[in-house]
Chains A and B, each alone.
Chain A
Amino acid sequence: MSATPDPGEDRRAAAWRIAGAVTDPEIPVLTIADLGVLRDVRVGDGPVEVDITPTYCGCPAMNMIAVEIELALEKAGFGRPKVNTVLQPAWTTDWMSEDGRAKLKDYGIAPPPKGGGRRALFGVDTVPCPQCGSIDTGVIADFGSTACKALWRCNACREPFDYFKCH
């Protein structure tokens, strides 16, 4: 994907494509378009305005994502954009695209199930191993390397893996 506008491409579409190509610093295989974190791009007379929404309340990647968007758009000749954080509608893992889910799995992270919703207090999740597909898996730690992940293990291929928590 090129980081400059194509001639003839609508200016808003170009800004959207460039902002949307910014990746999550903690899961570099996912773009913010895949994640559903990019909500709107407005192009008018003033600076380009970009709306993003946080995944988790305390997600430390959000500040970095905002800076990356500013850099990408400035580099593409859009001038300094204004990046806003919007809270509604609240992000859930259902905002993640099918493409994003496939990329996560290829990267070795089990994607969140679609339409997960709320479970019983000790509800048991079924999480297929992203390596071998077995559902004979179990949790090692509820809280993993980042706020959005838990650490799991596959009992079939014995590999540990990250699970992007359903949220």
Chain B
Amino acid sequence: MTSIRVAETPLVLYILRRADDALVLGHRLSEWCGRAPMMEEEMALANMGLDLIGQARALYTYAGEVEAQGHDEDALAYRRDERGYKNLLLVEQGNGDFARTMLRQFLYAAYADPYWRAMTTSRDATLAAIAAKAEKEMAYHLRHSAEWMIRLGDGTAESRARLERALATLWPFTGELFEIDTLDREVIDDGIGVDPDSVRDTWTATVADILARATLTMPADGYMQKGGRNGRHSEHLGHLLTELQYLQRTIPGATW
């Protein structure tokens, strides 16, 4: 099926960027189904994925309403190509091992929790309502993943080494969490969007606190990867979308 063209006004783009974060991370977590190291984590990973996909659905639906070109949540999820996706590079990185998946969840939740909390006072009533739910869900994800940071970092030599490797791999993707462009700036200045810079101190404090309890050293900020917000992705997203969009691209409009 052909890809759709989205009328990317600043507000539509702003909503899509957040929706794509939630869908891509939710899809990544769904890849763990049947593969988790223990039953409790099988449930946890699936439930966290479900929360994120639920957030994505609400955001896509609203983006489609704002765009007013007849695109529903399915059209926006299944019929945009890789360049049309505006998610953070962090959330598209492969699952790797359990340590890397939990670290990715922790780094994102430590950001999304205060971000959505700030969004609850948005002038946009729909975004504020979605944020009121997302905030609580991400607080729960933060707690769960933070507990794992401490258990793995302050655990065995093997779990610690894996978490250290994950930290070195994922840290270069954390700078993008706080990137904005002039389009986002417009939505923020309208009192609708949230400036990620306003949650930077909270994020840094949370990450520093948990890594210290995990007896790990917080990496220094070096070269940071970016581009996801403008559709320039790592090689991982294309593979993810091939899987995610396969059915609708092969049998357009399939339902059951």
Question: Do A and B associate with each other?
Answer: yes
A residues whose Cβ falls under 8 Å from a Cβ of B? 54, 56-60, 87-92, 118, 121-122, 140-145, 147, 165, 167
Whether the pair B54, A142 counts as a contact (CB closer than 8 A) is: no
B143 touches A122 (CB 8 A): yes
Of the residues A57, A140, A143, contact of B55 by C-beta under 8 Å: A57
Q: Are A87 and B126 in contact (CB under 8 A)?
A: yes
- A88 CA to B137 CA, complexed, in Å: 17
- Contact check: which of A88, A91, A92, A142 meets B126 at CB < 8 Å? A88
Interface 1/0 per residue, B125-167 and A, CB below 8 Å = 1101110111011011011101100000000000000000000
Question: How far is B43's CA from A89's CA once the two chains are assembled, in angstroms?
Answer: 29
Tell whether, in the assembled complex, residue B54 and residue A88 are in contact, meaning their CB atoms are under 8 Å apart.
no
Question: Which of these binds chain A: B44-52, B75-83, B86-94, B169-177?
Answer: B44-52
Chain B residues with Cβ below 8 Å from A59 are 54
Q: How far is the CA of A118 from the CA of B172 in the complex (A)?
A: 31
Contact present for B143 and A141 (CB under 8 Å): no
- Known contacts A87-B130, A141-B44, A143-B40: A58-B143 contact under CB 8 Å: no
Which residues on A sit within 8 Å (CB–CB) of B140?
Answer: 142, 165
Q: Is the CB of B142 within 8 A of A141?
A: no
Residues in B with CB closer than 8 Å to A145 are: 43
B212 to chain A, nearest CB (A): 14
User: What would be 13 A-B contacts, judged by CB atoms less than 8 Å apart?
Assistant: A54-B54, A54-B133, A57-B55, A57-B134, A57-B137, A58-B50, A58-B51, A59-B54, A89-B129, A90-B132, A118-B139, A121-B146, A143-B48
Known contacts being A140-B40, A143-B44, is A58 close to B54, with CB within 8 Å?
yes
Q: Does B57 contact A (CB under 8 A)?
A: yes
For the complex, give the distance between the alpha carbons of A143 and B140 in Å: 10
Closest CB pairs A-B (n = 9): A58-B54, A57-B54, A90-B132, A58-B50, A87-B129, A88-B129, A143-B44, A141-B40, A143-B47
| Min distance, Cβ A29 to any Cβ of chain B, angstroms | 22
Contact of B57 with A141 in the complex, beta carbons under 8 Å = no
* Docked complex Cα distance between A92 and B48 (Å): 18
Pairwise interchain contact B133-A57, C-beta atoms closer than 8 A:
yes
Min CB–CB distance B55 → chain A (angstroms): 5
A46 to B: closest C-beta gap in Å: 21
B247 contacts across to A, CB distance below 8 A:
none
Q: In the complex, what distance in Å separates the CA atom of A63 from the CA atom of B125?
A: 23
Contact (Cβ within 8 A) A147 B47:
yes
List A contacts of B136 (CB < 8 A).
167
CA distance A86 to B206 in the complex (A): 33
- Minimum CB distance partner of B136 in chain A: A167
Quick one: which of B126, B137, B139, B144 contacts A56, CB cutoff 8 A? B137
CB atoms of A56 and B51 under 8 A apart: yes
Contacts A57-B55, A87-B126, A88-B128 given; does A141 touch B133 at CB 8 Å: no
Q: Is B4 an interface residue (CB 8 A)?
A: no
Query: CB distance B43 to A90 under 8 Å?
Result: no
B58 interface residue (CB < 8 Å to A): yes
Q: Give every chain A residue within 8 A of B144 (Cβ-Cβ).
A: 142-143
In the complex formed, the residue of B with least CB distance to A142 is B144
A121 B133 Cβ-Cβ under 8 A: no
Q: Among B47, B132, B147, which residue has the most Cβ atoms of chain A within 10 A? A: B47
Query: Would you give the shortest CB distance from A52 to chain B, in whole angstroms?
Result: 14
Q: For residue B139, which residue of chain A has the nearest CB?
A: A118
Contact with A along B209-252 (1 / 0, CB 8 A): 00000000000000000000000000000000000000000000
Least CB separation from A87: chain B residue:
B129
**Cβ contacts under 8 Å, A89 to chain B:** 129, 132
Nearest-neighbour CB distance to chain A for B151, whole angstroms, equals 13
A81, chain B: closest CB distance, angstroms: 20
- Expressed in whole angstroms, the Cα–Cα distance for A140 and B44 within the complex equals 12
Residues of A close to B57: CB separation below 8 A: 57-58
